[in-house]
Structure 1
Amino acid sequence: MAGLAIVMDLLRKNPAVNAPQSFHSYGAFSAAAAAAGTPFAFRAFLGNRIPIAHCDAGVDVTGDYLSNLQSASRKIFQHESLQYTTKEYNIELKPLFSAFQWRMLGMTTLRSFLMFYLPLLEPRAKLEDEDDEDFFNDAQEEQQVDLVSPFKKSIKQIVRETTVVTTRRILERISVHYFSQRIAWKLLKDVPKSAIRKAGRGLPTSVYFFRVSRTTFRGHALGVAASWLVQVGIEIYRYISAKVKPKEDDISDETDKIILLRKKIAGATLRCSTSLVFASIGAGIGATLFRPSTGQWIGCAVGDLAGPVIVTICVEKTLNLDL
């Protein structure tokens, strides 16, 4: 009983026991929670003074740490943005009916008329070199120059070229709509400007030749595809028109017509494929030997014209096929 009285006397003299315990946010466990977990007699003898260590500099340390972390991450992101830049694909579509613009239509018309009317001047130039005037007059009277057939051929060539260009514009819009932006950008890339950019990088000659040829192959693919579609469409139209309206002197069998149609389509496919390959190789050679933009354009044009002619002559001589 005496011990109990001493304990009660100590409790009355200690005001910290009866005062409300404050809750501190210095950690996960507070002083009140720690005192609640101790025995009653232990709190009475120690006066509810539990040895708890508090760190008053915790907030400042955390703030400094966060600020240092933010600055370091900002520097890292700035460095990464310098190394890994996002490439933008700028796709510029030409007008759908650009083939009917005055400048392009005029160039197409001039080229078509020169293509079919220049051969008519060769016999006249040969005859002018002859010394015998009587022979010249007789030959001039006997030879009548046909100006109607070249005119019709020129009109057909103009229609064909404008159809090819318009078909290419349609294919460009299809590629932009259905393909990814990266693929569409490669198909619609301005190849001469790309050759200039590649020349400024200081690439080795072999690497530069390969990359220009590859870029030309991609940029020239839609044009060749448009030409192939037009040629195949013309052959199919001729086959259908001959089937619907047969001529009187046409005694060929239906099987022969189908075989001829297949041969024409195969010949168009072979010519277009060789045109694409030779144009790419010629563009690489021209850009390597001459100025990048001019050499690429000249090499592509020469390869586009020479490739089908060379392959057609080789196939006709070796396989005796009329392509």
Structure 2
Amino acid sequence: MAGIGLLKDLLKKNPSVNGQTLHSTGLYSATLAASSAAAYVAAGTPFASRALFGFGGKRVAYCDAGVTPPLITEDYLTSLRTASETVFRHDTLNHITKEYSIELKPLFSAFQPKSFALTSIRSFLLFYLPLVAPKEEEDDDNDFLPDSSDERHVDLVVPFKKSVKQILRETSVVTTRRVLERLAVHHLSQRAAWKLLKDVPKSAVRKANRGMPMHTYFFCVSRTTFRGHCLGVAASWLVQVGIECYPFVRDILKSNEVELDADDQSERVKTLGKKVYGVTVRCGASLVFAAIGAGIGATLFRPSSGQSVGCLLGDLAGPMIVSFCFANIPHLEL
């Protein structure tokens, strides 16, 4: 009302103002009238009831050029939606929805025709090839001996028994590994089981496609091989320790019938401890050298085949190197 009264006073004092002038200055007059009315209402309203009329709390001032707030258009909403989708597609959030695919091989995969045939051929060649190797040339003085013309008898039974034992050992190691894989899947987290059961050659290929530096790639492949080779080495350790403990347990059962001295029993315990210690050191060396060999092979050669060949060579060379080192160190025997 104060604004309307003020407008009337202005019109009375300036009668020359026509409708066109009033129309041209309408924005200013309307703004002035609204502000005056607001001031009057605020002044006349009690303090306790100002909040009901919107005058309580913080005061906000607008300039004339920005009285109207920006409108929320469709383009604005589309840009917000695109930005949110980009944030949730970022690589740093991929681990939240990452799926770990674990494929378990059959429990008795070692007895499948192809695997069992390869194991048998390798075992027989391992023990029968030395028999085919040429013999060393003897001295000329031995040619005149009466038994020099007689052919020596070749025993084929002993290599056959060793080959059968080797086949049983390898199949036992593979079956024990399959059991350990199932225990890892059921008792460990999905991520930890996936790391232990990961296909290491394929992982080496994926790491090679990322363009890592050479030292970083070597470290990553070696670490992955170390994890993926743990269950195999653990299975081999369990089988070898079981083979070493079998004679000890058998002798203990027999000793119940025949009394043995305390010295003999303590000596057998020490012997078993040395054998278990030797098996543990060789398996640990096999694991470490297999990881190093896999990293070297994948770095110098093709990722997949280099990793497989390097892991195999390191697995074979590790126990041999450790045995050679312990043989040359006094007071240490494996």
TM-score (norm 2): 0.71
How do 1:210-225 residues align onto structure 2 when only pairs under 5 Å count? 210-225=219-234
Query: In the alignment, which residue of structure 2 is the partner of 1:149?
Result: 158
Q: Counterpart of 1:218 in structure 2: which amino acid?
A: R
Residue equivalent to 2:216:
207
2:307 counterpart residue number: 296
Does structure 2 retain, via aligned residues, the 8 Å contact 1:224–1:272?
yes
* Mapping 1:64-143, distance limit 5 Å: 65=72, 71-84=78-91, 85=94, 86-122=97-133, 125-126=134-135, 138-139=147-148, 141=150, 143=152
Report matched runs for 1:1-323 at 5 Å: 65=72, 71-84=78-91, 85=94, 86-122=97-133, 125-126=134-135, 138-139=147-148, 141=150, 143-245=152-254, 253-323=264-334
CA distance in 1, matches of 2:202, 2:126: 30
Partner amino acid, structure 2, of 1:258: V
Q: 1:69 to 1:241 in 2, by over 3 A?
A: farther
Distance 1:140 1:158, change over 3 A: farther
Structure 2: tracts of 5 or more residues without a match: 1-44, 46-52, 55-67
Contact 1:112 1:158 in 2 (8 A): yes
Q: Which residue in the other structure is 1:9 paired with? A: none
Check the 8 A contact 2:201/2:305 in 1, yes or no: yes
> Counterparts of 1:135 and 1:221 in 2: how far apart (Å)?
58
Offset of 1:268 from its aligned partner? 0.7
Contact 1:130 / 1:136 at 8 angstroms: preserved in 2? no
Output the CA distance in 2 between the equivalents of 1:291 and 1:80.
Answer: 37
Map Cα deviations across residues 283-309 of structure 1 (whole Å, 9 max, x no partner). 001111111111111100000001001
Deviation per residue, 1:51-81 (Å, 9 max, x gap):
99xxxxxxxx99x759788645532331023
Cα separation, partners in 2 of 1:174 and 1:143, compared to 1, 3 Å = same
Counterpart amino acid of residue 314 in structure 1? C
CA distance in 1, matches of 2:215, 2:278: 33
Question: What displacement does 1:276 show?
Answer: 0.3
- Distance change (3 Å), C-alpha of 1:93 and 1:129: farther
Q: Which runs of 5+ in 1 are unaligned?
A: 1-37, 39-50, 53-60
For 1:202-255, what per-residue CA distance to the aligned partner results, in whole angstroms no more than 9, with x for missing partners?
A: 11111111111111001001000110111111111121012223699x997000
Q: Sequence identity, in percent?
A: 58
Which whole-Å CA distance do the structure 2 matches of 1:135 and 1:241 have between them? 50
Contact 1:127-1:136 within 8 A present in 2 as well: no
Q: Hey, what's the Cα distance between the residues in 2 that align with 1:241 and 1:266?
A: 20
Q: Deviations over 1:109-128 (max 9, x none)?
A: 01111111111122xx2368
Note closer, same or farther for the CA distance 1:97–1:69 as it changes in structure 2 (3 Å cut): farther
TM-score by length of 1: 0.73
8 Å Cα contact 2:142/2:148 also seen in 1: no
Match of 1:57 in 2: none
CA distance change for structure 1 residues 225 and 260 in 2, over 3 Å: closer, same or farther?
A: same
> In the alignment, is the contact (CA less than 8 A) between 1:278 and 1:303 conserved in 2?
yes
* Distance apart, 1:156 and its partner CA: 0.7
